[in-house]
């Protein structure tokens, strides 16, 4: 959840670290800190607040010279956000400095042992325990830093990505990971360390992603060594060439990353099906599916595991898979799946969905499924991420970097990939007629153009936002394919505007939620001209008769709902199964504008982080 940046090389480390931390603030923004080695001593500055607060404070209180340093932006787990609990942390001697992303689960007994040996603790964090454990091991056996880190990490239980510096070894940083991501950028006579590649993309395109239970000893003017933490065996590092570019991680003239990413959806949906969807030829080509087609065709069922927005994409996929390919589907919260002793069989296919590819609960669910002999297929956005490496096969969404904490383009590209898979399986099984299969391919090819038209509802969404920005509550209703979109719309609103919102299947209104309806309650209804349209019209009439305020997302040309609703947002017509790719667009825009009008931090909502890499 936290963001780590480190640098060792010939440049001034401070600007590299500060700029990198700003790019990682989506991972956490409770507090931030930096430590630099100026050639003689360590210089530390840290503060509660954002990286901009750190930038101001550090320039006032320390010398920012030096070509070696580590920095951190925090999402609090142990200890409230304050200056003392901020990272980096020193060891008791002041010789070691550490930054850490993750949770050390057995920190309390370790802390008691260290206190008994005379160590003093100033923060409430598990990280300060870890750096003092490393120091204790180092002193007791007179070890070099790398060996001390290795021995200490074999004593801890939990998840970590760390970077450690020892002022007695001023040309070396030791980095390690288990369960939390860590990337190393390799330049000419310089190295970069970060939670993802965005902090160093402008300096190098060569990147090594550490695997779980690996540590790297990064030394100036010497070859980097990567070792297994458990058995000390050497690892031959695999250097990847990054596909990301600097333009992708900048705002590009938009006020917020979220708005930029909403408007990127026509392009990224096209990027996601490019090379896979061949509508004119009536073909879908996906290597991860073709190479494992029999696994899918012989599956007793498909289990989808995910969290948050990815879980909503999985719910949409449940409707699509069962409708097209007639394979039973169950959708599970990864966080519940891993703890409830689920029934997993060898003939199950598990699809794990994650934007970052680093979601801790989803990774744990993958490992559990593999232990039971299931075939695991990953759908994620980040090349080289943990999920892409842990799964048997997979497919990338090609959404590009998603910086805004509230996910937008990841949702629509995940649905695009999952739709392609369902259609390919339907073709192989013969569960769709040839004419229907071709019709769906042609309609999917038109989706980017129709999403572009849906984005033209921006001004309407903004006008509606101005009316309801102060509403304390909001309901979202949908049926069939668009029930998950109602859930996703409600999630977007509460994530970034802090308005309480709930999504429901429209038919469930009479089973409780209708009690909430009065003249103060805005109700967003996804009312597409599709199957069950008459039913949703009836639901709208029930709300209307109780004075609820109706915001309806309708198919262009609709007159029946328009006559009932207080506000109407029209989107282009498409087939039922693909409608979530369009209906979600005005809901994203509505949430965005409400949040902006409420003066909320759209890209960095309170208490949230982009990638949930801890439990």
More confident residue, 469 or 401: 469
Question: Which of 1.10.3720.10, 3.40.50.300, 3.60.20.10, 3.20.10.10 would CATH assign to domain 3-248?
Answer: 3.60.20.10
Residues with Cβ within 8 Å of 456's Cβ and at least 6 positions away in sequence, in order, are none
Give the 3-state secondary structure of residue 467: helix
Across 97-110, average pLDDT: 92
Give the fold, CATH level 3, of 454-603: Rossmann fold (3.40.50)
**Helices in 396-544 by DSSP H: which ranges?**
409-429, 434-454, 458-468, 483-497, 533-544
Residue 612 confidence (pLDDT) above 80: no
- Tell me the C-alpha to C-alpha distance, in Å, between residue 432 and each of 73, 277, 303, 339, 417: 50, 17, 22, 37, 18
Give, in degrees to the nearest 5, the angle at Cα 503 between 499 and 507.
Answer: 145
The pLDDT, as a whole number, for residue 513 is 80
Q: What is the DSSP letter of 277?
A: E
> Across the strands, what pairs with 474?
501
Burial bucket for residue 193 (CB in 10 Å: 0-12, 13-18, 19+): buried
**Helices in 211-330 by DSSP H: which ranges?**
257-263, 265-273, 287-290, 293-297, 308-324
Neighbours of 143 (CB within 10 A): 16
Report residue 7 as tokens.
């640098």
The average confidence (pLDDT) of the chain is 92
Residue 78 confidence (pLDDT) above 70: no
Q: What is the DSSP letter of 34?
A: E
The pLDDT, as a whole number, for residue 548 is 86
Determine contact, residues 320/452, Cβ cutoff 8 Å: no
d(CA 107, CA 121): 12
The pLDDT, as a whole number, for residue 453 is 97
Query: Residue written as tokens 């060439």?
Result: 241
The pLDDT, as a whole number, for residue 63 is 87
Residue 238 confidence (pLDDT) above 80: yes
The pLDDT, as a whole number, for residue 81 is 75
Give, in degrees to the nearest 5, the angle at Cα 612 between 606 and 615.
Answer: 110
Of the candidates 103, 153, 3, 149, the one whose C-alpha atom is nearest the C-alpha of residue 360 is: 103
Residue 311 confidence (pLDDT) above 90: yes
Report residue 454 as tokens.
């849906």
Residues with Cβ within 8 Å of 319's Cβ and at least 6 positions away in sequence, in order, are 480, 481, 484, 577
More confident residue, 511 or 89: 89
pLDDT digit string (tens) for 387-425?
A: 988 999 999 998 988 888 899 999 999 999 999 999 999
Q: What is the DSSP string of 45-76?
A: EEEES-HHHHHHHHHHHS----SEEEEEEE--
The pLDDT, as a whole number, for residue 289 is 95
Our answer to whether residue 600 is catalytic in this structure is no
The pLDDT, as a whole number, for residue 597 is 97
d(CA 364, CA 370): 10
HSE (side-chain half, CA atoms, 13 Å) at 15: 5
Please give the share of the chain, as a percent, with pLDDT higher than 70.
98
pLDDT digit string (tens) for 535-592?
A: 888 888 888 888 889 999 999 999 999 999 999 999 999 999 999 999 999 999 999 9
Residue 1 confidence (pLDDT) above 80: no
Our answer to whether residue 144 is catalytic in this structure is no
Determine contact, residues 371/322, Cβ cutoff 8 Å: no
Of the listed 2, 207, 307, 380, which one is catalytic?
2
Query: Would you place residue 247 in the very low, low, confident or very high pLDDT band (cuts 50, 70, 90)?
Result: low
The pLDDT, as a whole number, for residue 79 is 67
Query: Would you place residue 246 in the very low, low, confident or very high pLDDT band (cuts 50, 70, 90)?
Result: low
The pLDDT, as a whole number, for residue 74 is 82
Query: Would you place residue 159 in the very low, low, confident or very high pLDDT band (cuts 50, 70, 90)?
Result: confident
What residues does each domain of the chain span?
3-248, 251-432, 454-603
Q: What is the DSSP string of 94-127?
A: S-EEEEEEEEETTHHHHHHHHHHTT----SS-HH
Strand 348-354, strand 301-306: pairing? parallel
Give the fold, CATH level 3, of 251-432: Rossmann fold (3.40.50)
Neighbours of 95 (CB within 10 A): 17
Query: Would you place residue 531 in the very low, low, confident or very high pLDDT band (cuts 50, 70, 90)?
Result: confident
The pLDDT, as a whole number, for residue 231 is 94
d(CA 607, CA 153): 29
Residue 615 confidence (pLDDT) above 60: no
Global confidence as pTM: 0.81
Determine which helix (DSSP H) or strand (DSSP E) holds 581, and give its type and residue range. helix 580-597
Report residue 474 as tokens.
């909001």
Lowest mean pLDDT among 80-89, 222-231, 475-484, 591-600: 80-89
The pLDDT, as a whole number, for residue 610 is 63
Strand 158-166, strand 206-209: pairing? unpaired
Report residue 528 as tokens.
């597409």
d(CA 190, CA 204): 10
Q: What is the DSSP string of 212-228?
A: TTEEEEEETTS--EEEE
Query: Would you place residue 611 in the very low, low, confident or very high pLDDT band (cuts 50, 70, 90)?
Result: low
pLDDT digit string (tens) for 431-443?
A: 999 999 999 999 9
The pLDDT, as a whole number, for residue 253 is 85
| Same-fold call for 251-432 versus 454-603 | yes
The pLDDT, as a whole number, for residue 118 is 96
d(CA 602, CA 84): 27
Across 452-471, average pLDDT: 97
Report residue 168 as tokens.
């007695």
């Amino acid at each position: 959840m936290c963001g780590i940046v480190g640098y060792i090389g010939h440049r001034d480390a401070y600007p590299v670290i500060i700029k990198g931390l700003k790019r990682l603030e989506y991972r956490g923004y409770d507090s931030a800190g930096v430590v630099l080695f100026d050639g003689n001593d360590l210089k530390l500055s840290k503060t509660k607040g954002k990286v901009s607060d750190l930038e101001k404070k550090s320039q006032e209180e320390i010398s920012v010279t030096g070509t070696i340093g580590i920095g951190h932006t925090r999402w609090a787990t142990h200890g409230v956000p304050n200056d003392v609990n901020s990272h980096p942390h020193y060891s008791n001697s002041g010789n070691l400095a550490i930054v850490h992303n993750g949770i050390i689960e057995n920190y309390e007994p370790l802390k008691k042992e260290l206190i008994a040996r005379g160590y003093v603790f100033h923060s409430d964090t598990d990280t300060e325990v870890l750096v003092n454990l490393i120091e204790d091991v180092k002193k007791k056996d007179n070890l070099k830093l790398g060996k001390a880190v290795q021995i200490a990490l074999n004593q801890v239980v939990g998840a970590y990505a760390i970077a450690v510096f020892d002022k007695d070894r001023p040309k070396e940083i030791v980095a390690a990971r288990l369960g939390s991501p860590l990337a190393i950028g390799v330049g000419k006579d310089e190295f970069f360390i970060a939670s993802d590649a965005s902090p160093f993309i402008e300096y190098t395109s060569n990147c090594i992603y550490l695997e779980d239970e690996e540590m790297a000893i990064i030394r100036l003017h010497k070859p980097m060594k990567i070792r297994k933490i458990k058995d000390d065996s050497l690892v031959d590092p695999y250097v990847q060439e990054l596909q990301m570019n600097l333009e992708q991680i900048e705002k590009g003239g938009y006020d917020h990353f979220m708005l930029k990413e909403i408007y990127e959806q026509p392009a990224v949906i096209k990027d996601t099906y490019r090379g896979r969807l061949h509508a004119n030829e009536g073909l879908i080509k996906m290597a991860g599916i073709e190479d494992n087609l029999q696994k899918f065709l012989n599956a007793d069922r498909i289990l989808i595991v995910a969290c948050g927005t990815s879980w909503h994409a999985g719910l949409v996929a449940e409707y699509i898979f069962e409708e097209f390919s007639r394979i039973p589907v169950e959708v599970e919260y990864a966080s519940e799946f891993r703890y409830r002793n689920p029934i997993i069989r060898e003939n199950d296919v598990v699809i794990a969905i994650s934007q970052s590819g680093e979601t801790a609960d989803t990774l744990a669910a993958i490992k559990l499924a593999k232990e039971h002999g299931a075939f695991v297929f990953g759908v994620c956005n980040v090349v080289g991420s943990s999920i892409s490496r842990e799964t048997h096969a997979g497919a990338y969404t090609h959404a590009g970097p998603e910086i805004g904490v509230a996910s937008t383009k990841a949702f629509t590209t995940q649905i695009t990939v999952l739709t392609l898979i369902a259609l390919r399986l339907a073709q192989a099984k013969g569960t769709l007629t040839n004419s229907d299969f071709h019709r769906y391919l042609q309609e999917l090819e038109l989706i980017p153009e129709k999403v572009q038209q849906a984005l033209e509802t921006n001004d309407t969404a903004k006008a509606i936002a101005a009316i309801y920005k102060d509403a304390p509550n909001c309901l979202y209703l949908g049926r069939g394919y668009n029930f998950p979109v109602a859930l996703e719309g409600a999630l977007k609103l509460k994530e970034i505007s802090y308005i309480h919102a709930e999504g429901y299947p429209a038919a469930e209104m009479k089973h409780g939620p209708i009690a909430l309806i009065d003249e103060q309650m805005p109700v967003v209804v996804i009312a597409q001209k599709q199957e069950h349209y008459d039913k949703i019209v009836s639901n709208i009439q029930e709300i209307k008769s109780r004075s609820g305020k109706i915001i309806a997302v309708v198919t262009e040309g609709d007159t029946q709902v328009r006559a009932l609703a207080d506000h109407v947002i029209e989107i282009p017509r498409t087939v039922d199964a693909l409608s979530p790719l369009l209906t979600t667009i005005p809901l994203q825009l509505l949430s965005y504008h409400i949040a902006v009008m409420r003066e909320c931090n759209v890209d960095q909502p309170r208490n949230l982080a982009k990638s949930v890499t801890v439990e």
